């Protein structure tokens, strides 16, 4: 599947992003497993759909940043498997070292949105779109937030503290879902019908 992540008319002097080919090279260089790659493509489809719908509704969003952030959100997943490393932070550090600070921030926030005040006057940020899109894709299937968090609790809720963290994340994801869809003519359930474009 090929999606033009950096259109020719994009203002690349404002936000520097890797090309689609560069993204594939990065994924390969960091050993991204096939099922994680498939998950990343699906998250990108959801993020692209939402980004376009939100832009049409009047939100100022950098769509190439959303698409690239969604495609690379799990860049650190394979290298961090079986370790105590935070894969979101790991991926963000790699991208930051390559000169992509805005992309690094989107990747950093794909699991948990930044709690500190982010200096952005806009009512909606690209990181929020990618964060939500990731929460709607279980492996490569689009699911409801309830289904996604049931899986997260089963796989990662091994301690009472972990369950508390996941429950708090579920509450914040539900609030984000309400925020995203408040201005849209479609609802969260409509994402289920987005066909896979592989």
Burial pattern 65-84, b for ≥16 Cβ within 10 A else e, equals bbbbbbbbbbbbbbbbeeee
pLDDT digits (tens, 9 = 90+) for 173-186: 999 999 999 999 99
Tell me, what DSSP letter sits at residue 142? E
C-alpha span between 27 and 37 (Å, rounded): 8
User: Which residue in this structure is represented by tokens 């690349």?
Assistant: 12
C-alpha span between 141 and 132 (Å, rounded): 14
Average pLDDT over residues 99-116: 93
End-to-end CA distance of the chain: 5
pLDDT (0 to 100) of residue 119: 76
19 contacts: CB under 8 Å, gap ≥ 6: 5, 6
pLDDT digits (tens, 9 = 90+) for 77-102: 999 998 989 999 999 999 999 999 99
C-alpha span between 182 and 179 (Å, rounded): 5
Q: What domains can be seen in the chain, in order of their start residue?
A: 20-193 (1.10.3210)
List the one residue out of 124, 153, 2, 138 whose CA is nearest residue 66: 124
Q: Which of 11-15, 58-62, 175-179, 188-192 has the lowest mean pLDDT?
A: 11-15
C-alpha span between 88 and 193 (Å, rounded): 28
C-alpha span between 111 and 133 (Å, rounded): 11
pLDDT (0 to 100) of residue 191: 95
pTM: 0.91
């Amino acid at each position: 599947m090929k999606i033009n992540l950096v259109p020719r008319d994009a203002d690349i002097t404002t936000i520097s992003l890797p090309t689609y080919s560069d993204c594939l090279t990065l994924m390969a260089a960091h050993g991204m497993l096939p099922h994680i790659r498939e998950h990343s493509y699906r998250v990108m489809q959801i993020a692209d759909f939402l980004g376009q719908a939100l832009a049409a509704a009047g939100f100022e969003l950098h769509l190439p940043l959303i698409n690239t952030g969604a495609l690379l959100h799990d860049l650190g997943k394979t290298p961090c498997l079986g370790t105590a490393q935070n894969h979101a932070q790991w991926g963000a550090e790699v991208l930051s070292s390559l000169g992509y600070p805005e992309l690094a921030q989107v990747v950093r926030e794909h699991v948990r949105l930044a709690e500190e005040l982010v200096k952005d006057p806009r009512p909606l940020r690209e990181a929020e779109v990618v964060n939500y899109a990731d929460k709607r894709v279980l492996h490569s299937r689009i699911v409801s937030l309830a289904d996604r968090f049931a899986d997260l609790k089963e796989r990662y809720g091994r301690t009472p503290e972990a369950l508390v963290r996941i429950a708090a994340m579920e509450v914040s994801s539900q609030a984000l879902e309400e925020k995203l869809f408040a201005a849209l003519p479609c609802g969260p359930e409509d994402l289920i019908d987005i066909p896979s474009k592989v």
